[in-house]
Chain A
Amino acid sequence: MDLEVNTLKNKQISRWDLDIFSKGSQGNFSLQLELDGDSISAVKADRGYLHRGIEKCFEKSLWFNVMPYADRIESETSVFNELALCLSVERLAEIEVPLRAQYIRIIVCELTRMTSHLKCLAKIAKACGADTATHFLMRDREKILDLFELLCGARFSLNYFRFGGVQSDLSEGFIERVVDLCDSIRLRLKEYNELLSYNFPFLERTAQVGCISKENIFKYGITGPIARASGVLSDVRRSRPYSLYNRIDFEVVHHALPVGINGGSIHDRFMVRLKEIYQSVSIISQLVDSLPAGSVKEVLIQQDFCVPEGESISLIESPRGEFGCYIMSDGSTSPQRIQFFTPSSKVFEILPEVLKNCTLDNFPAVVASLDLSLAEADR
């Protein structure tokens, strides 16, 4: 094994191979840990187990058919995949999206952001042994997934966005339930804060643990909540507003620390995501209050739909960071190339760096706080 072992503390070296099927596996990737006592001294990580050749599938299908493939890059945050693809195609084909459809897209995207953050918080809580908080967080996530089922019949892989709009208008009662959900989530966030955020055992497990410095954030190109927890103001919705984000009032949550304090710990990543859920609730409330009437789709995409020859690119802020879609078209009914670039690919590269010098009991919490999605990394 060609691991680079850095410093040896106790010189009680052992090795732990965590394959994807082993009991301590943290996800769909394999880890080889070199342990010095209970401290991790070197890490080798391998991925590719979830490579499904989705980018080749795009090239084999029609523009009319690509949305379900885009969905399945990352099923739990599928609307972000769909949105990135739609923005690229609409830009190249110069398709206008009705205003009502743009509002609906952002509402669904922010609801999905909330589900993703709630799941990540639940994973962190479970890794730290806080089972009560895990159940509470997943319970609230289920309410949002019920809304998706009301909207389009699916909890994950919604297949709801279309080029030029969305599949269909909002279901009856959807907006009222969204308003009720927003009110209840605001109360729940206070509950999670009291239960967990400054709970002493939780702080012991998470504060100053798994720190990622600003230098490493820039070196590895990390974006999203991980970057914001390390004090880097990085949010595509603010720096490069797309869709309606230039009209919405929201705060970019980041962790601003005094000089000399290590930022980017598990606790910082937890708090950033918790506060971002509150921001998503605020965004949804603004959109729901001003939702315009009108159509949700003005262009009917059929099997002979062609995208004009050329290239386009779109960049959006997914729950895990900067997410983009590059398309190249030869003017035919099939894509020449569709490439997605995802935040988890870059986060996977920093994993060995973050895990070095962690202890074995902290290692699941560190991995959980990075919110790796191997589905979107491997595609």
Chain B
Amino acid sequence: MEISQLITELQEKYSEHLIEIGSFGNIQELVCLSVKAESAPLIMRVLRDQFEFTDFISLLVAETPSREKKLRLSAFIRHQLSGSELVIRVDHSITGTDQVFVIPSLSKIWNAATSFEKELGDLFGVFFEGNNYFEKSKKRYLLPDNWEGFPLRKDYVFPMEFLDIPHSRPVGQSEPDEHGFGG
């Protein structure tokens, strides 16, 4: 499957769902499709079923450095036979601290996305609707169950203590205690 042929067909049939077709960063040979958030499941199913992009490589999540803060999700997929690669990108605006995003799960389309959704959901505060782990378990995946907040967000503030253990030494303590520790 030639990527140029794929782009032509997508532009013909699904143009209302696409925002932009470009390259991924400065990697000219890696095509990046920016799609609307509500159209992402449709485009992904089309790519898997119609165009045979059945290999899921990675789910990349990052906060963009622009003034309008956005949470950028990029799914990196591959055509099983030809090895052609593609990135599908969805941007979500960040409107508040500790905002939880609800996004349709990719694990229903590509099962290999499960582990990425579990990890990144925990660290970025993304609830992947349809992922069995989020549906059944209310626990954290990588972090302790009673951890608050989403550490990989840019506005995350580290707690000063956890389970009564202080994060760092109090300011001003410079003498060892009565047992000779610290200082």
Interface residues of A (CB under 8 A from B): 2, 47-48, 51, 53, 55-56, 91-92, 94, 218-221, 239-240, 309-313, 315, 322, 324, 326, 328, 330-331, 336-337, 339, 341, 345-346, 348-349, 378
Contacts and interface: CB of A to CB of B under 8 A. Distances in A.
A359 to B, nearest CB: 27
A81 to B, nearest CB: 15
Contacts of A345: 115-116, 119
Contact of B141 (A48, A94, A337): A48
B54 A310 contact: no
A56 B152 contact: yes
B41 interface: no
Interface in B113-161: 114-116, 119, 123, 136, 140-143, 151-152
A92 B57 contact: no
Nearest to B56: A221
Contacts of B30: 313
B170 interface: no
Nearest to B54: A218
B112 A330 contact: no
Q: Which 6 A-B pairs have the closest CB atoms?
A: A221-B112, A330-B65, A337-B62, A311-B25, A48-B142, A341-B58
Interface in B50-83: 54-58, 60-65, 74, 76, 80, 83
Interface in B76-115: 76, 80, 83, 110-112, 114-115
Given A55-B152, A326-B60, A313 B25 contact: yes
Nearest to B107: A349
Contact of A313 (B56, B60, B115, B136): B60
B26 interface: yes
A324 B80 contact: no
B155 to A, nearest CB: 12
A346 B25 contact: no
A79 B61 CA distance: 24
A336 B57 CA distance: 22
A328 B65 contact: yes
B24 A313 contact: yes
Contacts of B152: 55-56
Contacts of B165: none
A331 B143 CA distance: 30
Contacts of A348: 115
B6 to A, nearest CB: 18
B80 A337 contact: no
Contact of A315 (B57, B62, B112, B115): B57
Nearest to B114: A349
- Most B Cβ at <10 Å: residue of A220, A221, A239, A310: A221
